[in-house]
Structure 1
């Protein structure tokens, strides 16, 4: 991996951490509404599967080591066994899959096509994995857990749309396009 790639990976890891500084919205169901998924959706869109997935994996590893990078200043290996564990573990997969689906034809995709990918993977798949994990960790029936996390889907779809808009607009800037080399 080139130095430029390492810098880009680190930059997006930092972006996801900075998005954790925005306060979480507690909905009273054990899993907060945060803005960090905007960061990993963008990482997939802009960096592609390899670099996007790696940047988010680095973020998750730093959280596992105890760095307080999640929204609200949370971190530590124990979080992976709580209600948010499935979400945290799904982040690298989501970034990788979004990157995989967008990187080859990104130049020809419009905002709505990127939004569809972001929404299906970044909102629906992430909440499905998070809900299943929450059911397991909280000993809830799967249907009840999935009904519980459905409340996050509209907000996550808004973040998926914001990420699609930003990614498509950023690809139009020549210096940005050369910097990322995948958009």
Structure 2
């Protein structure tokens, strides 16, 4: 890795940690709160691409596993990673790879195509793995976990739009480390 890539990985990992400082919004009927860290994951996937994006998210998850309070609400530790929200965190790790591959498979060149790829990965991979893990770990029927997770769809759509707007602005600057550059 060159200095530029190391710096970008560190910077985006720091952005992810800062987004974790924003208090989560607990929902009460589901153990997963509304958080902004998935916005950071989306930006990492777009800006860093599959290799460096995955490294950035892995560093973040290692810090969380070591018990550093990098997750929303100042949480960290293996109990959080293996708890009801652990599936979402695994989905975070897969996001840069899946977004990059989907963009390549569909030959997404226009920004709306990239947005659609990002939204699909967010809803199918992150939320899908989150639903499966939550259902398994809490013994909540899969159908109920799926229905409860519908609350995240409007927010995820908004977060993907924000991530795309930031990415689109950055790709017209000197930042040239993305999968689309």
Q: TM-score, normalised to structure 1's length?
A: 0.90
What residue number does 1:75 align with? Answer: 76
Contact 2:80 2:86 (8 Å CA) reproduced: yes
* Structure 1 residue 98 corresponds to structure 2 residue 99: yes
What residue number does 1:7 align with? Answer: 7
Looking at structure 2, the residues matched to 148 and 105 of structure 1 have their Cα atoms a distance apart, in angstroms, of 30
Gaps of 5+ in 1: none
Say what the alpha-carbon RMSD is for the aligned residues.
1.9
Contact 2:46 2:178 (8 Å CA) reproduced: no
Contact 1:110 1:168 (8 Å CA) reproduced: no
Contact 2:47 2:178 (8 Å CA) reproduced: no
Secondary structure at 2:21's aligned position in 1?
coil
Contact 2:32 2:84 (8 Å CA) reproduced: yes
- The alpha carbon displacement at 1:102 in A equals 3.8
**Equivalent residues in 2 for 1:28-177, closer than 5 Å:** 28=28, 29-102=30-103, 109-173=109-173, 175-177=174-176
Looking at structure 2, the residues matched to 48 and 100 of structure 1 have their Cα atoms a distance apart, in angstroms, of 10
Gaps of 5+ in 2: none
Looking at structure 1, the residues matched to 59 and 104 of structure 2 have their Cα atoms a distance apart, in angstroms, of 20
